[in-house]
Homo-oligomer: A and B are copies of this chain.
């Protein structure tokens, strides 16, 4: 048995290496590659994807999994080996259900639809994009068909990002969340608004970069096993245990790069915290997209948008920007960076409105898959929900239903993980507050080692061993629950807006 397991691990290490090689190539593509490199890079990435897919879905893997069935039952189900076999089986059964021809056709279709989207979006030209989105939706429907029978057509999509989770679970969670968030937003809009005009000035890039570095160094980001570069769309990427990189971008006004840097650092701290003995296997990863997002949102919002954090760091930021912030008191700054207001763009939304953007996307993508909403009617359906949830209507599709890349890329099932991540971040936070009673004081002292140690011990060390709901239950005692997040929003914005 041990020999079979070793053989399986050897193949999985190869698949892992091939996928990490792809990550290096994608990182380069988004940071340094000159424009002429695109065509060759496409060939290189497509070759690596094929080699990895072929290796992982080979009969050899199927036979090894089959012959390890008995062994799996005999060992501790929480051991690394048992989890490895379990997770590999989940992925293998899924990947082998999807014909290779479908995979390559889907990759062709989405490459085109992404290009069309890139062209059409700035012109708000939904008519050009529509036929391509229709093809993508049709293929996503086919994808679900490979997994029949299912409870819900959206289940196989969601499972790609949140293994084991069902559409019914997400709907139940969002049904609790939605009315509460809409009501809170209404309450806030009735109050006098926060002044953030001091953020609408020019902040020099070097000052932003240096402050960001100071901040994430304090968080515990390990520079010996990572680095930071600039990219048009910030992301975190992992090339192995010893190389977890983040990227950031700068805009002259506002200070969004700081929060974006904190966000990416949260992802990176997770990946840097997955133990070395899980390396070069499918377990060397986060538990799911929602779990990953719980980490990034925690450092971005619960830490870097908190009062205790700025109590410590505001001095340093004022020193970096004496002209811009010298005359802005701490309280005013804190309220300014936490200003709430309905906005058109998801990625710019504040904590109190962000989930509403997600919920409407989930409803719309499910309706499209169920054929209840024709792609043709998407712009109208989008605007109707924007009016209903946020009280505003986009003037065009550029800042309406065409704003995100996800649908053009075929990422159906991805959106809800952003909101679920927010919810999980608060479930964890309540546990941390219980286990570290002076958490706020530590943060106000600029000390994050207690927080990071808690995350390492309770979240990171498990890597990709368990399904997300299993892991969250294990850590917090319950599955994903919207109530901690609702409590948090009410308290934080209750104070800021005197509700």
Contact = CB atoms under 8 A, between A and B. Distances in A.
Interface of A: 13-14, 17-18, 20-21, 24-25, 28, 32-41, 43-44, 47-48, 51, 222-227, 229, 239-243, 245, 279-280
Contacts of A20: 40, 44
B222 A36 contact: yes
A34 B243 contact: yes
A224 B43 contact: no
Contact of A21 (B33, B44, B223, B240): B44
A37 B242 contact: yes
A-B pairs with the 10 shortest C-beta distances? Answer: A40-B240, A36-B242, A36-B225, A37-B243, A17-B47, A36-B224, A21-B44, A37-B242, A34-B227, A17-B44
**SS class of chain A's interface: helix, strand, loop or mixed?**
helix
A224 B38 CA distance: 11
Contacts of A222: 36
A492 to B, nearest CB: 36
12 contacts: A17-B40, A17-B44, A21-B25, A34-B223, A34-B243, A37-B225, A38-B242, A40-B240, A40-B241, A43-B240, A44-B240, A51-B51
B239 A14 contact: no
Contacts of A36: 222, 224-226, 241-243
Nearest to A47: B17
Contacts of A21: 21, 25, 44, 47-48
Nearest to A31: B32
Contacts of A47: 14, 17-18, 21
A39 B242 contact: yes
Contacts of A39: 240-242
Given A24-B24, A24-B25, A28-B28, A17 B43 contact: yes
A41 to B, nearest CB: 8
A278 to B, nearest CB: 13
How many copies of this protein are present in the complex? 2
Contacts of A13: 43
Nearest to A50: B14
A255 to B, nearest CB: 26
A25 B240 CA distance: 13
A239 B40 contact: yes
Nearest to A38: B242
Contacts of A32: 227, 229
A17 B241 CA distance: 26
A34 B227 CA distance: 7
Contacts of A224: 34-36
A398 B102 CA distance: 60
A229 to B, nearest CB: 8
A34 B27 CA distance: 14
Contacts of A33: 243
A51 B25 CA distance: 17
Contacts of A28: 24, 28
A28 B242 CA distance: 14
A213 to B, nearest CB: 14
Contacts of A18: 47
Contacts of A223: 34
Given A21-B48, A37-B225, A40-B279, 18 more contacts: A20-B40, A21-B21, A24-B24, A24-B25, A24-B28, A28-B28, A32-B229, A34-B245, A35-B224, A35-B242, A36-B222, A36-B243, A37-B242, A39-B240, A39-B241, A43-B280, A44-B240, A51-B51
Contacts of A227: 32, 34
Max chain B Cβ within 10 angstroms of own Cβ: one of A41, A223, A225, A280: A41
Contacts of A17: 40, 43-44, 47
A157 B43 CA distance: 33
Contacts of A25: 21, 24
A283 to B, nearest CB: 15
A405 to B, nearest CB: 24
A13 to B, nearest CB: 8
A242 B34 contact: yes
A235 to B, nearest CB: 16
A241 B43 CA distance: 12
Contacts of A280: 40, 43
A11 to B, nearest CB: 12
Contacts of A37: 225, 239-240, 242-243
